[in-house]
Structure 1
Amino acid sequence: MSQPLMPKATAVWLVENTSLEFEQIAEFCGLHRLEVQGIADDEVAVGIQGIDPIANSQLTQAEIDRCQADPTARLKLLKLDLPQPSKRTKGPRYTPVAKRHDKPDGIAWVLRHHPELKDSQISKLIGTTKTTIQSIRDRSHWNMANIRPRDPVLLGLCSQVDLNAAVEKARKAAEKAGIAIPAPQFEEEAPSPLAGFGLSND
C-alpha cells in the first residue's frame, strides 16, 4: 500500500486534528499502532511538526469524515499526478565538461588497441559520435596533431568492466561471423642511433 509523504509528520497531524483510531492512522502512515499511541502520549515524534495531508492533496476531508464515522474503515491515499522520473535513454553516456577534451585521446587508444570494436560500441563506451570516431580513424580530426592515444579507463571516460565487456562482445561476434580479429596497432619505435654500430641502448 502507498504511504503519504513524510508519514510520521502526517500521523502527528492526524492524531492532533482528527478522532481517527490509532489503528487507522497506523495503517495509513505505515507505522506500528504503538508508535501512533506514543505520538498521542507525547512519547514519540516529539518536536515533529504535523503536516496536513488535506493541504498536500493526499487526503480529503470527506475521506477523513468517512473513516471517523466507521472505525473499521481504512483511509485511502489520493493518487498524486506527480511527474515520474524518466528512465535514462540508451544514448551516449554523459561526460563531465572537464573530461570532454580527453575523448579524442581515449578514442584513438581504443582504435589502436581494440580494432575489433565497432564504431557503435566505441560511441556508447566513451559517449561520442560516429563522426568523431571516423575523423580520428582517417586522421581528419581538426585537432589530430595534438591527439595522444590514452587509456579511456585511466582518463575516467569508461570503466574497465564496461571496456572488457565491449571487447568480449566484439570478439564473440567476430568469431561467430568467421571474421579474423585485427591485430592491435602499435607505433613502430624509431631505430636506435647506435644500431649501425652493433650496439644497443642497454
Structure 2
Amino acid sequence: MDRIPLMPKATAVWLVDNTSLTFDQIAEFCHLHVLEVKGIADGDVAQGIKGMDPISSGQLTREEIRKAEEQSSYRLKLAEPKVEVPEVKTKKGPRYTPVSRRQDRPNAILWLTKNHPELKDSQVMRLVGTTKPTIQAIRERTHWNSANLQAQDPVTLGLCSQIDLDAEVKKAAARLERERKARGEPEPKAGTLLSAEESTMEETETPAPFDESPGAVFAREAEAMMGHSERETDDDTPDPDSVFAKLEQLKQAESEDPLDHVPAAESSEDESADDESAEDGDQDNAAENAATEEEAGETDTDEEEDTRS
C-alpha cells in the first residue's frame, strides 16, 4: 500500500517554497496533480495554507531532498516511521446523502424496486443510503407519499455512481444464478427474434405450397390477371338501352314547336294591360277627390266672410 505524507497540500506548499524540486517530483510525492502543484507555485491553489516541514515531522530527510534536487528523475521516498501505528478499521455505515438530495431518495428506491427487483434491501441501502423500513414501505405501497412518488434513476439524481449500481446488479444476478443451480432448475431460454421475411410478410399473403411446381404457380397468376382485365373491360362498356333512351330524349326535344308557348306570352301581356288600366282609374279617382275637397274649402271661406260682415 502506497503511503502518502501527512497533510499533502501543506507539504507541497513547503516543498515549493523551500526547495528546487520539479513539479513532477512534488506531485508524485504528495499524490497531487502536476497542474495543482503548478497552481500552488502560481498562488492560485492552496491560498492561506501554511506549509508544513516534512523534515521536522520525520517524513523526509535532508539527504533525500538533496538527491532529488541534484537528479530530476529521482523520486522522493517517505522515511520509515519510527513508531508503527495500527490501522483503525472503521465500520462502514449507510451511505451519506446530502440534505438537498434526501427528498429524492424515495423516488430512487421506487426506481430500483421496479427495474431491479432482484436487489436485496441491504444492496439498496448501500446504493441510496436509506433504511430498511423505508424500502419495505415503498415496496408495499404503504409509504406516506406513495401517491406522489415518481421512479427516477439514482445515478441521474446523483445518489450513487453507475459503477456501484452495475456492481450491485452483477452481484444480484450471480446470486440468482447460484440459487437456480442449487434448486436444479433448467436454464431459462431466451426469446428469439423472427426472421426478416416472417416479420415483413403481410397477413393476407398466403405462401404457395411447397409441392406446387413453378409452372402451375405461373398459370394461376396468369389466370388471375386475365380475369381482372376482363372485369375492367366489362365495366367500361356502355349499356345499349341507356344509349337509345338518350337518343329518343334528344329527338323529342327537337320535335317540339316553339309556337306552342305564344298564348302564354299573350296572356301575360293582357294581364299587364289590365294592371295599367286599373292604375289609371285610381289616379282619376284621386284627382276628383282632390277637386271636391278644394270646392268645399272655398265654400267654407265664403261663409266665414259673410258671417264677419
TM-score by length of 1: 0.50
Which of these residues, 157, 163, 168, is aligned with residue 166 of structure 1?
Answer: 168
Structure 1 residues 12 and 168, CA gap change in structure 2 (3 angstroms): closer
Q: How many residues matched? A: 126
Summarize the Cα distance change of 1:34–1:133 in structure 2 as closer, same or farther, 3 Å threshold: closer
Residue aligning to 2:95: 93
Q: How does 1:1-202 map to 2 (within 5 A)?
A: 25-26=62-63, 30-32=64-66, 89-178=91-180
Inter-CA distance 95–162: structure 2 relative to 1 (3 Å threshold): same
More helix by share: 2
Which stretches in structure 1 are left out of the alignment for 5+ residues?
A: 14-23, 37-75, 181-202
The residue type equivalent to 1:164 in the other structure is D
> Does the C-alpha gap of structure 1 residues 143 and 31 become closer, same or farther in structure 2, counting only changes over 3 Å?
same
**Offset of 1:25 from its aligned partner?**
4.1
Runs of 4+ in 1 over 3 A off after TM superposition: 4-13, 33-36, 76-81, 83-89
Asked if the contact 1:116/1:171 (under 8 Å) is kept, the reply is yes
How far apart, CA to CA, are the structure 1 residues paired with 2:92 and 2:132? Answer: 15
- In structure 1, distance between residues paired with 2:177 and 2:123: 17
Q: SS of the counterpart of 1:32?
A: helix
**Residue type of the partner of 2:133?**
T
Query: Highest Rg: 1 or 2?
Result: 2
Gap runs ≥5 in structure 2: 19-52, 71-78, 186-309
Distance 1:143 1:77, change over 3 A: same
Using a 3 Å threshold, how does the CA distance of structure 1 residues 78 and 139 change in structure 2: closer, same or farther? Answer: closer
Q: Which moved more, 1:162-171 or 1:100-109?
A: 162-171
Residue type of the alignment partner of 1:31? I
| Larger RCO (alpha carbons 8 Å, 6+ apart) | 1
Does the CA-based 8 Å contact 1:103-1:128 persist in structure 2? yes
Per-residue CA deviation, residues 139-183 of structure 1 (Å, 9 max, x unaligned), is 111221221111111111111111111111101101111179xxx
Identity of aligned residues (%): 46
* Structure 2: distance between partners of 1:152 and 1:97: 15
Output the TM-score relative to the length of structure 2.
0.34
| 8 Å Cα contact 2:55/2:62 also seen in 1 | no
Report the residue type matching 1:153 in the other structure: V
Q: Structure 1, residues 69-89: CA drift from partner, whole Å, max 9, x if none?
A: xxxxxxx999689x9995553
